[in-house]
């Protein structure tokens, strides 16, 4: 204070400075105050509408309710795919705050096994963040409630009640109907629809579910709720009901489909049954198959390991994508082509067990020979020499034309992508494909369904139904009761009668499939066996040994033989011959006439096989889960899964054309029903030649 | 002011022109907190109002403290606060995490909060002690900068950018009004304007740069760091002129607004009370701050002038940064709004500032105004 008295001017100047600067400070403060008031006015008045809208969109949460998917029905209105109300829990990876803690809590609450947890973590890793990931579905109420009450500490977890897809017949309809699953990132790119990333919504992933996606999907409902930032619903504001998807009714007979699938037992193969009056497909079975119910919950790692390691290729629809040399099943239509070409059915050839063609001898399957053989005997005894002989006379072009008329080598307008349509070889085809001239032995091979010939089981079914009815059936899978009747094939009735009679003889007379007789009084089934070599005879006899090298077994049939009503084609992969195929055909056909009898037979078999389809699959899954647990590698995405299942059979050519002298060896007896062998899938040759 | 006969002098001498608006503002804050708690006095509203009255009594007692005591306590108080800041840092290190407060048993003490008035007090003391002819010499610049650097550095270590800025701002304003040469501030401002872009482009890490960019355009990252500002602007903007009505603020009630009862309480208020409520808050602060500046201008000597003006600046900094932040004009730093935000430490700091200004007011009435 002394100093200020000594230098009053400085002190006064300082005070002045202070006052000036304090005024400046005050002015700045006032300015800031005005700025703030202006900003407040700008936000609250000028921009009010914009922020009001933003606040409203914060407050009101519009959540979509996934529509109930349309049912898939069989021809009688039974459900092949329906919906079941269930409790489910999803999570949205983006909204997780502490993913590890949340997952650990869920694991405890829902009692999830390790492999399932690993699957969820994979899915979270692959998800685009905003895509919901299914944690569990088909939950019991108390587990669902346990998650619901813990919701405040589980941000990003969405428990809800909804509907899940249900396939009552399980694996029996897997390849037929397909399955559903959450939309993939690609789906969302293709169709930028918020429904696709709604928890609980599934789209069709395969087969009909995919093909009829638009029709089955329906219109989502919506729920307007007031929700907090973390998604907790404060109150409901209003709900719009969903509109369920349209049903799709199929020509399939649900009972038959399931029966055929179960009757395949432990074998790998397919059964196709068609209606001879309309061309409706009554059953289309490819076994073994995945269970679409568990596939629709997401393909787990255990399940994937189990299916992808199975040499019976459960992921492939063998009806449409399996290609096989048809073997002797082509003989009836080859005979028909002979008749149309003017061959006298009574013309005979002497079968001495083989025929010299050029400098090679082509053997008949019966090395002892059939003796004097006419057309009837050629068919019912399946005499190769008869066909070797007359095929050379008639020529391959005539035979190939008949085969194509019957539907072989053709693709059918069915709602399934990627049918493998195989090959009907003829001289022009060979020149185009291999730049080689057609040789006589090519005709010889083709005429007994070997060599370059490849067909799929659906084509065989179409062939037999056209042969049985004389009508140009196009296979139909979607029921249309007003479809015009199929046109005639233009066959002469006496030609058909002769071939039918010969095929009747196969089963009910002196033929190769006497044990295929169906136990229904007054109903006679006609059929034709076929055995297709997988490897050359030098590598094995095709009957026993390594499964992969055994012959494929074929059987085509229709009943009643004099008034064809149903036609069926059965293929058993590596069944060791047609003896594996015709008992299945017999029982399936029996089912159409007498379900009780057929079921009794099936029950017997299933007891030996270790339970029903579901029970066997569950047991196998449990064994895998116990063995591998979470250590199994992750399952690929659905699209990749489909590709993996089908990539190995995209080629329509046989890997190694069997141009050998193809003479299927005698076929073993099927296991008799009364005293079935313990190892039913591997029939032991008994020496009896029933061909 | 002539006391009326029937009012006791002690009461009549209180600066009612500021106590009444402050009380109104705090009660208003109480209603906002009541609504933010979903219509309950607990946990915020009741405590908020009770604390205010408690600290108001403290401020009135503080107003009776003689000037000598303030001067005497300035330097030791500053030293103690610095020691406490070091202590907090040490405890945090040992405890394995950052800590800003000391648990005293009956309350938690945040030394960095007290440092805001503390730095003002010690600098006022320093400049009052400083010989007048040295105001423009280095001795007027370097020691205050050191006094600023110690606590600001310690607080930055916590790390608490908002409080460090508040302390620095208070100190710089003290140096400004103490009469330091103007070129220092102009030069400093220019220097900052040159260094800032260089820092931005060459020194800062990507994530820091991103923060700056998000501050400049919060909409560019509505779910990340821009979320707070965006939601706050939505709350204020959707309130309109008269607000959505008491208890109807969806932004705060549905948890969209972060920190709805502390840093973003202004947005909570504006959503329900609209622009009218906002203008009321601004008006109260205008009354309080202009009263403070008037007290400073009327103050009897250099120490009390600097002290009062510094306290006004400290309150102003809170108000200015907080409101600029909630309206999207400043980055998100954790600074509460005085008398509205829930929180004991900031309430105490602000009431210390008010009480100190009241004390200066009292001294100027006891002593006729001199040259210093």
User: Which tens digit of pLDDT belongs to each residue from A489-538?
Assistant: 999 999 999 999 999 999 998 888 888 888 888 899 999 999 888 766 55
Based on the domain organization, do A462 and A586 belong to the same domain? yes
Cβ–Cβ gap B371/A11 under 8 Å: yes
Which residue from B132, B254, B371 is facing A228, i.e. has the nearest CB?
B254
* Domain CATH code at residue A220: 3.90.1310.10
Please tell me the least confidently modeled range out of A132-136, A348-352, A675-679, B329-333. A675-679
Based on the domain organization, do A181 and A66 belong to the same domain? yes
Based on the domain organization, do A215 and A286 belong to the same domain? no
DSSP A182: P
The tokens of B92 are what? Answer: 């945090």
Cβ–Cβ gap A36/B132 under 8 Å: no
Query: What is the pLDDT, as a whole number, of residue B282?
Result: 96
Query: What is the pLDDT, as a whole number, of residue A668?
Result: 39
Task: Read off the pLDDT of residues A10-33 as tens digits, 9 standing for 90 and up.
Answer: 778 888 889 999 999 999 999 999
Q: pTM (2 decimals)?
A: 0.67
Q: Number of CB pairs < 8 Å for A and B? A: 150
Which residue from A26, A35, A50 is facing B237, i.e. has the nearest CB?
A50
Based on the domain organization, do A202 and A298 belong to the same domain? no
Cβ–Cβ gap A14/B255 under 8 Å: no
Closest residue in chain B to residue A53, using alpha carbons only = B238
Q: Would you say residue A376 lies in a domain?
A: yes
Cβ–Cβ gap A37/B278 under 8 Å: yes
Bigger pLDDT: A636 or B182?
B182
Based on the domain organization, do A455 and A604 belong to the same domain? yes
Q: What is the DSSP string of A348-417?
A: -EEESSEEEETTEEEEPSSTT--EEE-HHHHHHTT-HHHHHHHHHHH-HHHHHHHHHHTTTT-----S-S
3-state SS assignment for residue A13? helix
Q: Would you say residue A242 lies in a domain?
A: yes
A16 Cα to chain B: minimum distance (Å): 9
Query: What is the pLDDT, as a whole number, of residue A649?
Result: 44
Best-predicted range by mean pLDDT among A233-247, A340-354, A616-630, B21-35? B21-35
Cβ–Cβ gap A11/B279 under 8 Å: no
Which residue from B132, B238, B240 is facing A7, i.e. has the nearest CB?
B132
Best of A15, A55, A231 to mutate (most B CBs within 10 Å, chain B): A55
- pLDDT, chain A, mean: 84
Query: What is the pLDDT, as a whole number, of residue A334?
Result: 93
Inter-residue contact A108 to A147 (CB < 8 Å): no
A40 Cα to chain B: minimum distance (Å): 7
Closest residue in chain A to residue B266, using alpha carbons only = A40
Cβ–Cβ gap A40/B254 under 8 Å: no
Inter-residue contact B350 to B275 (CB < 8 Å): no
- CB atoms under 10 Å from CB of A312, counted, come to 19
Domain range enclosing A165: 61-249
Q: Would you say residue A643 lies in a domain?
A: yes
Based on the domain organization, do A178 and A218 belong to the same domain? yes
How many domains are contained in chain A?
A: 2
In chain A, what residues touch B296 (CB-CB under 8 Å)?
22
Q: Would you say residue A151 lies in a domain?
A: yes
* pLDDT, average across residues A398-402: 92
Cβ–Cβ gap B250/A22 under 8 Å: no
Give the gyration radius of chain A's Cα atoms. Answer: 35
d(CA A139, CA B233): 43
In chain A, what residues touch B318 (CB-CB under 8 Å)?
none
Task: Read off the pLDDT of residues A262-307 as tens digits, 9 standing for 90 and up.
Answer: 999 888 999 999 999 999 999 999 988 988 988 888 788 888 888 8
d(CA A299, CA A308): 12
Burial class (CB in 10 A: 0-12, 13-18, 19+), A238: exposed
Query: What is the pLDDT, as a whole number, of residue B103?
Result: 74
Q: What is the pLDDT along chain B (372 residues), one digit of tens a residue?
A: 444 567 777 777 788 999 999 999 999 999 999 999 988 888 899 999 999 999 999 999 999 999 999 999 999 999 999 999 998 888 877 765 566 777 766 667 788 889 999 999 999 999 999 888 888 888 888 999 999 999 999 988 877 778 888 899 999 999 999 888 888 889 988 998 898 888 888 777 777 777 677 767 766 766 666 788 888 999 999 999 999 999 888 888 888 888 888 889 999 999 999 999 999 999 999 999 999 999 999 998 999 999 999 999 999 999 999 999 899 888 777 789 999 999 888 899 999 999 999 999 999 888 655 544
Based on the domain organization, do A478 and A494 belong to the same domain? yes
Closest residue in chain B to residue A39, using alpha carbons only = B327
Based on the domain organization, do A190 and A273 belong to the same domain? no
The tokens of A301 are what? Answer: 């790692």
Based on the domain organization, do A350 and A428 belong to the same domain? yes
Query: What is the pLDDT, as a whole number, of residue B363?
Result: 92
Query: What is the pLDDT, as a whole number, of residue A663?
Result: 42
d(CA B250, CA B248): 6
Residue A674 pLDDT > 60? no
Cβ–Cβ gap B132/A10 under 8 Å: yes
Based on the domain organization, do A353 and A443 belong to the same domain? yes
Cβ–Cβ gap B256/A58 under 8 Å: yes
Q: Would you say residue A690 lies in a domain?
A: no
Last residue of a domain, one of A234, A249, A264: A249
* pLDDT, average across residues A444-463: 91
Based on the domain organization, do A241 and A285 belong to the same domain? no
d(CA A478, CA B292): 88
Residue A209 pLDDT > 80? yes
In chain A, what residues touch B241 (CB-CB under 8 Å)?
44-45, 48
The tokens of A94 are what? Answer: 């983006």
Cβ–Cβ gap B178/A30 under 8 Å: no
Query: What is the pLDDT, as a whole number, of residue A614?
Result: 85
Cβ–Cβ gap B250/A15 under 8 Å: no
Q: Would you say residue A321 lies in a domain?
A: yes
Which residue from B241, B282, B301 is facing A33, i.e. has the nearest CB?
B282
Best of B169, B178, B238 to mutate (most A CBs within 10 Å, chain A): B238
Buried b (16+ CB within 10 A) or exposed e, A55-79: beebbebebbbbbbbbbbbbbeebb
Based on the domain organization, do A258 and A133 belong to the same domain? no
Residue A638 pLDDT > 90? no
3-state secondary structure B120-173: HHHHHHHHHHCCHHHCCCHHHCHHHHHHHHHHHHHHHHCCCHHHHHHHHHHHHH
d(CA A336, CA A266): 35
């Amino acid at each position: 204070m002394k100093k200020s008295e000594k230098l009053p001017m400085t002190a006064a100047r300082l005070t002045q400075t202070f006052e000036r600067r304090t005024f400046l400070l005050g002015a700045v403060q006032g300015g800031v105050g005005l700025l703030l008031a202006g900003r407040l006015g700008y936000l609250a008045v000028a921009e009010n509408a914009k922020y009001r809208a933003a606040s409203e969109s914060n407050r009101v949460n519009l959540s979509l309710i996934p529509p109930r998917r349309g049912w898939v029905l069989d021809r009688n209105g039974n459900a092949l795919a329906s919906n079941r109300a269930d409790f489910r829990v999803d999570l949205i990876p983006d909204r997780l705050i502490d993913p590890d803690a949340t997952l650990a809590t869920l694991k405890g609450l829902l009692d999830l096994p390790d492999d399932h947890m690993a699957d969820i973590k994979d899915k979270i890793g692959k998800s685009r963040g905003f895509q919901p990931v299914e944690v569990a579905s088909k939950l019991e109420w108390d587990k669902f409630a346990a998650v619901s009450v813990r919701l405040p500490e589980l941000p990003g977890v969405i428990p809800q009640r909804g509907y899940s897809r249900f396939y009552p017949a399980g694996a029996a309809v897997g390849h037929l109907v397909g399955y559903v699953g959450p939309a993939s990132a690609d789906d969302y790119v293709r169709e930028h629809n918020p429904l696709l990333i709604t928890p609980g919504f599934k789209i069709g992933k395969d087969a009909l579910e995919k093909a009829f996606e638009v029709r089955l999907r329906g219109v989502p409902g919506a729920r307007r709720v007031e929700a907090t930032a973390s998604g907790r619903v404060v109150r409901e504001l209003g709900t719009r009901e969903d509109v369920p998807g349209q049903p799709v009714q199929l020509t399939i007979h649900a009972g038959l489909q399931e029966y055929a699938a179960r009757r395949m037992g432990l074998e790998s193969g397919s059964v196709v049954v068609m209606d001879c009056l309309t061309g409706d497909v009554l059953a289309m079975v490819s076994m073994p198959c995945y269970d679409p119910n568990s596939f629709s919950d997401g393909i787990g790692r255990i399940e994937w390991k189990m299916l992808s390691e199975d040499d019976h290729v459960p992921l492939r629809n063998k009806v449409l994508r399996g290609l096989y040399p048809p073997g002797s099943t082509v003989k009836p239509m080859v005979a028909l082509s002979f008749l149309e070409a003017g061959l006298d059915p009574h013309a005979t050839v002497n079968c001495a067990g083989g025929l010299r063609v050029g400098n090679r001898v082509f053997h008949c399957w019966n090395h002892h020979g059939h003796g004097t053989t006419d057309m009837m005997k050629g068919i019912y005894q399946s005499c190769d020499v008869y066909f070797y002989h007359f095929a050379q006379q008639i020529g391959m072009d005539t035979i190939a034309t008949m085969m194509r008329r019957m539907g072989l080598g053709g693709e059918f307008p069915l709602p399934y992508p990627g049918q493998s349509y195989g090959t009907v070889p003829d001289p022009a085809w060979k020149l185009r494909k291999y730049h080689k001239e057609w040789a006589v032995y090519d005709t010889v091979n083709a005429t007994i369904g070997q060599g370059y010939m490849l067909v799929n089981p659906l084509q065989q079914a179409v062939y037999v139904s056209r042969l049985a009815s004389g009508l140009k059936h196009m296979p139909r899978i979607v029921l249309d009761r007003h479809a015009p009747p199929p046109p005639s094939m233009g066959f002469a009735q006496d030609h058909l009668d002769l071939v039918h009679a010969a095929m009747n003889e196969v089963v009910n007379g002196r033929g190769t499939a006497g044990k295929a007789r169906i136990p229904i009084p007054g109903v006679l089934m006609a059929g034709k066996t076929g055995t297709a070599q997988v490897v050359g005879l030098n590598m094995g006899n095709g009957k026993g040994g390594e499964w992969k090298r055994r012959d494929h077994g074929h059987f085509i049939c229709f009943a009643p033989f004099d008034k064809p009503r149903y036609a069926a084609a059965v293929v058993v992969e590596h069944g060791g011959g047609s003896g594996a195929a015709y008992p299945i055909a017999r029982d399936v056909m029996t089912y159409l006439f007498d379900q009780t009898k057929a079921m009794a037979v099936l029950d017997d078999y299933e007891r030996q096989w270790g339970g029903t389809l579901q029970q066997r699959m569950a047991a196998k899954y449990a064994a895998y889960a116990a063995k591998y647990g979470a250590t199994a590698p992750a399952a690929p995405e659905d699209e990749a899964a489909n590709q993996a299942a089908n990539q190995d059979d995209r080629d329509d050519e046989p890997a190694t054309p069997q141009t050998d002298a193809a003479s299927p060896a005698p076929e073993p007896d099927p296991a008799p029903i009364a005293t079935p062998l313990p190892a039913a899938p591997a029939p032991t040759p008994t020496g009896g030649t029933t061909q | 002011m002539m006391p009326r006969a029937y009012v006791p002098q002690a009461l009549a001498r209180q600066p009612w022109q500021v106590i009444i608006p402050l009380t109104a503002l705090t009660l208003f804050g109480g209603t906002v907190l009541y609504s933010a708690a979903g219509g309950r006095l607990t946990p915020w509203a009741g405590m908020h109002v009770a604390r205010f009255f408690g600290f108001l009594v403290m401020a009135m007692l503080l107003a009776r403290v003689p000037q000598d005591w303030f001067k005497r306590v300035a330097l030791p108080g500053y030293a103690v606060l610095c020691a406490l800041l070091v202590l907090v840092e040490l405890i945090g290190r040992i405890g394995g995490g950052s800590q800003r407060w000391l648990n005293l048993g009956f309350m938690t003490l945040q030394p960095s909060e007290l440092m805001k008035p503390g730095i003002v007090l010690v600098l006022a003391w320093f400049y009052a002690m400083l010989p007048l002819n040295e105001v423009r010499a280095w001795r007027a610049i370097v020691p205050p900068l050191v006094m600023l650097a110690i606590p600001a550095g310690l607080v930055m270590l916590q790390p608490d950018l908002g409080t460090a800025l508040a302390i620095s701002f208070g100190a710089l304003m003290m140096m400004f009004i103490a009469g330091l040469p103007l070129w220092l501030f102009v030069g400093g401002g220019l220097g900052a304007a040159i260094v800032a872009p260089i820092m931005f482009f060459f020194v800062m890490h990507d994530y820091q740069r991103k923060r700056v960019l998000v501050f400049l355009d919060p909409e560019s990252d509505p779910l990340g760091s821009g979320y707070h500002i965006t939601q706050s602007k939505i709350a204020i903007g959707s309130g309109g002129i008269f607000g959505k009505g008491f208890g109807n603020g969806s932004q705060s009630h549905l948890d969209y607004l972060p920190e709805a009862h502390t840093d973003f309480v202004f947005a909570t208020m504006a959503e329900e009370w609209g622009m009218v409520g906002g203008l009321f808050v601004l008006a109260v602060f205008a009354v309080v701050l202009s009263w403070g500046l008037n007290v400073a201008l009327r103050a009897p000597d250099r120490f009390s002038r600097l002290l009062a003006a510094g306290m006004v600046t400290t309150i102003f900094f809170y108000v200015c940064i907080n409101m600029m932040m909630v309206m999207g004009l400043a980055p998100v730093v954790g600074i509460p709004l005085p008398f509205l935000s829930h929180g004991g430490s900031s309430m105490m700091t602000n009431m210390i500032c008010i009480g100190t200004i009241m004390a200066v007011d009292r001294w100027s009435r006891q002593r006729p105004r001199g040259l210093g």
